[in-house]
Amino acid sequence: MPGGLGFLPITVLYAVVFIAPLAAFLRASLLRNAGPASFGEPTLQNFIAIVNDPYDVSLLLTTSALAAVSATLSVALGYPIAYRIGRSSGPWSKVLFRLCIASMFTSAIVAALGFKVLLRDSGAINQLAMDLGLTKEPLPLRDNFFAVALGIVHVQLPLAVLALVPACESLPRSILEAAQGLGATRWQSFWQVSFPMTRSAVVRTTLLLFAVGHGAFATPLLLGGGRVPVISLEIRQKILELLDWPGGAALSVVVMLVVFLVVLITLLVWRDQPIAVPI
């Protein structure tokens, strides 16, 4: 487009599908609930009610803890896979990469339903544990925090791998070879050279998955069994069942603020520093 306006279409699309809904939610959160699906005068009462409600506070804490655990596990499990893909040129690296891509086409609902069968008392895991004599009774694997975290990790793991692969691919081979030439073992060169150079990508990927984890809905609904209350389910109930649109909008804004503050503080603390390579 002439005049350097080539970015205009995507800017308009971004404003319509992202900024406008956020602005609508922000406006609704600042209005009083005047009845089912109705708005009153501007007020901060919706936010005051959230802060003073122990249940809403516990929902935020549970949701943030679930998002943090899931993001950390996803990155911890995904980093070795991404490192293997990024540092190897063999056929197995291509197979792993294609498997990560393919797994992203699996619906979160289908995956959660599969985990419901796998984690039930008569499921494969409990049957194997009892057959091996590890336990005499079925383990409580379903309808709890563990089950929900496992389901979210299954969804987020391919994202973690794909986000970390470019950082692992960009590691200069000359530096790794120099480290080994100076007497460092592969384990030492990894922890003292490779990992510090990819630490920034690890932190940013963890923050990305932490933010995404706050929006998990189908997995907590299907694997939590109503025993793992998260903020997304409460927002749905307020908006669709109680028709408390200002209250649901206020909860959404609070979640965004919490995620924004955590991301901002973490980036300030973990901002890039010059990397020393002690061998």
Tokens standing for residue 151: 């389901």
**Can you give the pTM of this predicted structure?**
0.85
213, with CB counted inside 10 A (0-12, 13-18, 19+), is buried
- Tell me the CA distances in angstroms from 224 to 91, 118, 127, one per residue in order: 39, 14, 21
248-261 pLDDT, tens digit per residue, is 899 999 999 999 99
Residue 4's region, left for phi above 0, alpha for psi from -120 to 50, else beta, is left
Domain that holds residue 150: 55-269
Tokens of 72: 């950390």
Is residue 148 in some structural domain?
yes
Domain annotation covers residue 93? yes
pLDDT tens-digit readout, 62-78: 999 999 999 999 999 99
Domain count within the chain: 1
pLDDT at 96 over 60: yes
Residue 15 lies in a domain: no
In-domain check, residue 146:
yes
224 assigned to some structural domain: yes
Measured between alpha carbons, how far is 43 from 49 in angstroms, rounded to an integer?
Answer: 11
Single-letter amino acid code for the residue at 97: F
Q: Report the distance separating Cα 70 and Cα 67, nearest Å.
A: 5
Record the tokens describing residue 219, joined without a space. 């997995």
Is 13 within a domain?
A: no
Q: How confident is the model at residue 84 (pLDDT cuts 50, 70, 90)?
A: confident
Cα–Cα distance measured from residue 36 to residue 67, given in angstroms and rounded to the nearest whole number: 31
pLDDT at 6 (0 to 100): 64
Task: pLDDT band for 278, please (50, 70, 90 cuts).
Answer: very low
- Residues 195-253 have pLDDT tens digits of 888 888 999 999 999 999 999 999 999 998 888 889 999 999 988 888 888 888 999 99
- Band of residue 24 on the pLDDT scale cut at 50, 70, 90: confident
pLDDT at residue 172 tops 80: no
Q: For residue 119, is it within any domain? A: yes
**Residue 117 token pair:** 């069968």
Q: What percent of the chain has pLDDT over 90?
A: 33
What's the CATH number where 257 sits? 1.10.3720.10
**How many residues are listed for the chain in this entry?**
279
Q: Is residue 262 part of a domain?
A: yes
Radius of gyration for the chain, computed over Cα atoms and rounded to the nearest angstrom: 23
Give the H or E element holding residue 13.
Answer: helix 8-14
- Amino acid (1-letter code) at residue 105: F
Distances (CA, A) of 272 to 102, 197, 199, 201, 269: 33, 10, 9, 10, 9
